[in-house]
């Protein structure tokens, strides 16, 4: 008689885990293959349309009528997916990416529709690289575009760095690379409150961790909130603690509802000394501290941060999306006529 393997055995649970991982990987590959085939098909349709136009078969002023008629006929023949707006984007996909080899195998048609709404090639290239490397879905891509992530990062970098950012995406090599100014927390819902506390802000961030991670950027893993440190018989607490997988270090965040004060810098320096001595293990690098407030006096911060050996940074947060027109105008002034090649 055959013996049965107990459901609770480690061997069985390892088998179940490996089968689950294999299934998930297989499904992901299948979805990616379908997405890639769909995008390439729509690119080909766009090419067909452009070549028909360029062949002189129709006059330019009849272009819109062509797409409307094509939409009706294709819908009658093949069903959904060929709306007038979809055909416009198929045509634009080909014009924006004239070489099909430059299309990503990992981005869906819905993501390309969002990318094609961006006119600036620098900005579009950045979001394309970030969506691919960060495994963003359409929701995440839309959010990062609305929060003006590219402009926020670009305005704090030099021109060479902006071009690299557009062509390669965000690369984390130094502590400074994880910082943003300002951080945008529109997802917390706090702007609707007449008054909120630092605890309210902390609750809102933790309750929306997926969006918080998206705003923090690559490499962050959550350790906990109100992390205790017992020093000299007294208990101290850090608001939020993360570990950064790329930089291999703890990242401590202290939240301030209003202005960052000079004593907040000393407090963070104190926390970092403790984490370096008591929490770091072999392979960990120096911990990073970010004091995050609604605003700051730059002169006060200059003197507060002077001669501190630990990695302490001060940044701002805001509870609403940036003003797109102002940020775009500022970015255009900063970059002048600098461009990046399409495709």
Q: What would the pLDDT profile of 121-140 be if each residue is shown by its tens digit?
A: 999 999 999 999 999 999 99
Is the pLDDT assigned to residue 103 strictly greater than 80? yes
Q: In sequence order, which residues have a C-beta less than 8 Å from that of residue 52 and are 6 or more positions away? A: 58, 66
Higher local confidence (pLDDT), 325 or 93: 93
What totals of helices (H) and strands (E) does the chain contain, helices first?
A: 13, 6
Mean pLDDT of all residues in 265-291: 95
Higher local confidence (pLDDT), 4 or 135: 135
How sure is the predictor about 213, in pLDDT bands with cuts at 50, 70 and 90? Answer: very high
**Beta-bridge partners for 318:** 184
End-to-end CA distance of the chain: 65
Mean pLDDT of all residues in 317-329: 88
Cα distance between residue 63 and residue 8, in whole Å: 66
How sure is the predictor about 17, in pLDDT bands with cuts at 50, 70 and 90? Answer: confident
Q: What per-residue confidence (pLDDT) applies to 30?
A: 79
Q: In sequence order, which residues have a C-beta less than 8 Å from that of residue 125 and are 6 or more positions away? A: 166, 167, 340
Higher local confidence (pLDDT), 319 or 19: 319
Mean pLDDT of all residues in 165-192: 90
pTM value? 0.81
Mean pLDDT of all residues in 175-190: 92
How sure is the predictor about 179, in pLDDT bands with cuts at 50, 70 and 90? Answer: very high
Alpha-carbon dihedral sign for residues 218, 224, 228, 229? negative
Residues 290 and 176 sit within 8 Å (Cβ to Cβ) = no
Residues 179 and 152 sit within 8 Å (Cβ to Cβ) = no
Alpha-carbon dihedral sign for residues 300, 232, 224, 10? positive
List the single range of 106-110, 286-290, 334-338 with lowest mean pLDDT.
334-338
Q: Which two tokens stand for residue 105?
A: 């195998």
Cα distance between residue 337 and residue 331, in whole Å: 11
Run of H or E including 241: strand 234-244
* Residue 184, CA atoms < 13 Å, CB-side half-sphere: 19
Q: What per-residue confidence (pLDDT) applies to 19?
A: 85
Q: What per-residue confidence (pLDDT) applies to 1?
A: 46
């Amino acid at each position: 008689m055959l013996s049965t393997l107990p459901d609770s055995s480690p061997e069985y649970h390892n088998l179940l885990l490996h089968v689950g991982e294999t299934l998930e990987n297989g499904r992901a590959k299948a979805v990616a293959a379908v997405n890639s085939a769909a995008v390439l098909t729509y690119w080909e349709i766009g090419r067909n349309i452009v070549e028909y136009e360029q062949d002189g078969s129709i006059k330019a002023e009849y272009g819109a009528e062509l797409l409307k008629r094509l939409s009706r006929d294709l819908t009658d023949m093949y069903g959904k997916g060929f709306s007038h707006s979809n055909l416009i984007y198929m045509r634009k996909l080909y014009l924006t990416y004239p070489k099909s080899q430059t299309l990503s195998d990992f981005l869906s048609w819905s993501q390309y529709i969002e990318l094609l709404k961006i006119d600036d090639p620098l900005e579009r290239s950045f979001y394309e690289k970030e969506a691919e490397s960060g495994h963003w879905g359409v929701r995440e891509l839309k959010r990062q575009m609305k929060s003006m992530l590219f402009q926020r990062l670009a305005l704090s970098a030099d021109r060479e760095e902006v071009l690299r950012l557009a062509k390669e995406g965000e690369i984390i090599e130094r502590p400074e690379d994880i910082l943003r100014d300002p951080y945008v927390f529109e997802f917390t819902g706090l702007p609707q409150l007449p008054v909120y506390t630092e605890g309210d802000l902390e609750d809102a961030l933790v309750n929306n961790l997926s969006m918080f991670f998206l705003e923090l950027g690559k490499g962050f893993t959550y350790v906990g909130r109100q992390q205790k440190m017992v020093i000299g018989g007294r208990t101290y607490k850090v608001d939020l603690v993360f570990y950064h997988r790329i930089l291999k270090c703890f990242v401590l965040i202290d939240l301030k509802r209003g202005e960052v004060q000079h004593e907040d810098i000393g407090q963070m320096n104190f926390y970092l000394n403790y984490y370096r001595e008591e929490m770091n293990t072999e392979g960990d690098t120096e911990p990073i501290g970010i004091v995050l407030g609604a605003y700051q006096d730059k002169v006060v911060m200059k003197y507060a941060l002077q001669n501190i050996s630990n990695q302490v940074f001060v940044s701002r947060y805001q509870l609403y999306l940036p003003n797109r027109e102002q940020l775009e105008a500022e970015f255009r002034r900063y970059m002048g006529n600098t461009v990046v090649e399409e495709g």
